[in-house]
């Protein structure tokens, strides 16, 4: 097998390794497509969840090549995608049903080898079957879609809501479609890049805003008679946009901090403002038991993600793909692992 290995911060080397067969509870998946995520960028820079050396990549799909003797839910030849997050089942959060907040959480492509490779060995329990005719790049988007479903669940989007989405990259565009499916009446997307604003318009956004030249707050006030939006979702992962989301929330507004900010980032909150407006501020972490819902939506065609793929690169192109994402030039970069 061939794999792109993160050896240390800023170092990614493609190596050849012997392919190891599965244990009784494992499967060997031939990876066909793997998306680059912001987490991969953080790991490459040594900023978040880095365990070196490691094969990163947790948004992937492929075909099962071998299965262990005790694996029951997938067979050789099945088309699959994966849920990368693995919980211990014994800690207090797990015992309370909060498995995604497990204190011993591990993840394929983060704490153990993942999908930037021709093959990946993983527990069979982490595989989810997908229809054989589902486009592999669409199937590889299951994990980010599943995370977004959890976020929309957390935000409690309901019919008639006015929703503001700050950041119109892949995550923002997925969230836009999901809130529309939930019945949001008015959607406003704030995004720097013109091509991403155009994409948001095509997907049904009511308004798109260039935050460099237009006043997002004024737009939001105008469409809500001054009351402010019902839901604000921050997808950028920065203190300035998080602050903007909190300040923008309307009466009884819900603020969802979806973007991954640096640990030392801080924002200011007016306790009186939160009290007087009954504002709820919440986070959304990973994808607890939402993968099957994501697959169903993707397979139905009601969620459109294929058009997000702006670049396709070989294994050697992982650093280039990360740079494209960090620059804002790319919407979604897919690593095509098979030669």
Q: What is the DSSP string of 251-315?
A: TT-EEEE-S---TT------HHHHHHHT-EEEE--S-TT-HHHHHHHHHHTSS--GGGEEEEE-G
HSE-up of residue 235 (Cα within 13 Å, Cβ side): 26
Give mean pLDDT, residues 132-143: 98
pLDDT value at residue 162: 98
Percent of the chain with pLDDT over 70: 100
CA–CA distance from 214 to each of 167, 191, 208, 220, 296 (Å)? 14, 11, 10, 12, 37
Please report the pLDDT score of residue 166 as a whole number.
Answer: 98
Token pair in block for residue 248: 């923008």
Q: Is the pTM of this model over 0.75?
A: yes
Q: What is the structure's pLDDT at 49? A: 67
Whether residue 70 is predicted with pLDDT greater than 70 in this model: the reply is: yes
* Residue 83: closest CA among 117, 130, 50: 130
Closest CA to 48 of 283, 275, 237, 303: 237
User: What average pLDDT does the structure give for the chain?
Assistant: 96
User: How far is residue 222 CA from its own chain's centroid?
Assistant: 31
Domain residue ranges in the chain: 2-141+305-335, 148-283
What average pLDDT does range 137-143 have in this prediction?
98
CATH topology (fold) of 148-283: Rossmann fold (3.40.50)
What letter would DSSP give residue 306? G
Above 70 in pLDDT, residue 164?
yes
pLDDT value at residue 7: 95
Other CB atoms within a 10 A radius of the CB of residue 305 amount to 23
Q: Pseudo-torsion of CA 101, 106, 108, 112, nearest 10°?
A: 160
User: How does DSSP classify residue 289?
Assistant: T
Residues 123-137 have a mean pLDDT of 98
187 and 206 Cβ atoms separated by less than 8 Å: yes
User: SS3 for 86?
Assistant: strand
133: left (phi over 0), alpha (psi -120 to 50) or beta: alpha
Locate 13 and state its tokens: 């080397």
CB–CB of 338/30 below 8 Å?
A: yes
pLDDT band at 51 (very low <50, low <70, confident <90, very high): confident
Average of per-residue pLDDT across 72-90: 97
Arithmetic mean of pLDDT, 88-104 = 98
pLDDT digits (tens, 9 = 90+) for 253-304: 999 999 999 889 999 999 999 999 999 999 999 999 999 999 999 999 999 9
Question: Could you tell me what percent of the chain has a pLDDT over 90?
Answer: 97
pLDDT for 81? 98
The span from the CA of 300 to the CA of 297, in Å, is 5
CA distance 205 to 208: 7
pLDDT of residue 102: 98
Q: What is the pLDDT of residue 301?
A: 96
| Superfamily name with CATH number, domain 2-141+305-335 | Medium-chain alcohol dehydrogenases, catalytic domain (3.90.180.10)
Summarised one tens digit per residue, pLDDT across range 2-43 is 999 999 999 999 999 999 999 999 999 999 999 999 999 999
């Amino acid at each position: 097998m061939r794999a792109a290995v993160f050896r240390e911060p800023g170092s990614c080397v493609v190596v050849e390794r012997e392919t190891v067969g599965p244990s009784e509870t494992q499967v060997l998946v031939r990876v066909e497509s793997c998306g680059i995520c912001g987490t991969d960028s953080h790991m490459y820079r040594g900023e978040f969840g880095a365990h070196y050396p490691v094969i990163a990549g947790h948004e992937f799909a492929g075909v099962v090549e071998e299965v262990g003797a005790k694996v029951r839910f997938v067979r050789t030849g099945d088309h699959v995608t994966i849920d990368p997050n693995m919980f211990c089942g014994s800690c207090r959060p797990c015992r309370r049903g909060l498995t995604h907040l497990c204190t011993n959480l591990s993840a394929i492509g983060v704490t153990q080898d993942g999908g930037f490779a021709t093959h990946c060995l993983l527990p069979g329990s982490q595989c989810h079957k997908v229809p054989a005719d589902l486009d592999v790049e669409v199937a590889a988007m299951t994990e980010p879609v599943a995370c977004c479903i959890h976020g929309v669940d957390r935000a409690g989007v309901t019919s008639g809501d006015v929703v503001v989405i700050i950041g119109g990259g892949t995550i923002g565009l997925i969230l836009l479609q999901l809130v529309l499916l939930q019945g949001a009446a008015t959607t406003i997307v704030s995004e720097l890049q013109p091509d991403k604003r155009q994409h948001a318009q095509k997907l049904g956004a009511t308004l798109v805003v260039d935050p460099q030249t237009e006043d997002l707050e004024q737009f939001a006030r105008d469409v809500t008679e001054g009351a402010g939006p019902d839901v604000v979702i921050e997808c950028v992962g920065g203190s300035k946009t998080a602050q903007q989301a909190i300040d923008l929330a309307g009466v009884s507004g819900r603020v969802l901090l979806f973007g991954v900010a640096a640990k030392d980032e801080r924002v200011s909150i007016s306790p009186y403002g939160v009290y007087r407006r009954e504002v709820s501020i919440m986070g959304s972490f990973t994808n607890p038991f939402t993968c099957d819902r994501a697959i169903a939506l993707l397979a139905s065609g009601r969620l459109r993600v294929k058009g997000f793929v702006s670049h396709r690169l070989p294994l050697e192109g992982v650093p280039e793909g990360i740079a494209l994402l960090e620059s804002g030039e790319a919407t979604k970069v897919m690593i095509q692992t098979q030669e």
